[in-house]
Amino acid sequence: MKDKIAQILVKELNYSDHVAALTAGDLVAVQPQLQPALKTWLDTRSITNAEVGQFSIKLFMEQRGYTFPSALISLDWLLTEPEIAKQELTNEVRR
């Protein structure tokens, strides 16, 4: 699955091979509650909005210009390291 994701990132989102490989590794490891959004995106490229606290895929994509994979990884970070991620992602809004 990691190779399939990396190919999509390179071909459809213009990621470099290196960044695509790293991102694909992060995506296959997202928390279980984010897996359905990932699966939907992989199957149909449809974007399912997921939320963690005050943050959401929609917020990251619309207000910050993130790609779907980047937004999903950011939500995963909020789930795995909530204090650090929240502080960093909140600071990013202020910059």
Beta carbons of 6 and 24 less than 8 angstroms apart: yes
pLDDT at 90: 84
Is the pLDDT at 93 greater than 60? The verdict is: no
Domain total of the chain: 1
pLDDT at 91: 75
pLDDT at 92: 59
Residue 51 DSSP symbol: E
Please compute the mean of the pLDDT values over residues 29-35 and round it to a whole number. Answer: 97
Question: 51-52 and 55-56: which strand pairing?
Answer: antiparallel
Q: Which residue range is the domain that position 85 belongs to?
A: 2-94
pLDDT at 94: 46
pLDDT digits (tens, 9 = 90+) for 34-87: 999 999 999 999 999 999 999 999 999 999 999 999 999 999 999 999 999 999
What is the chain's Cα-based Rg?
A: 13
| pTM beyond 0.85 | yes
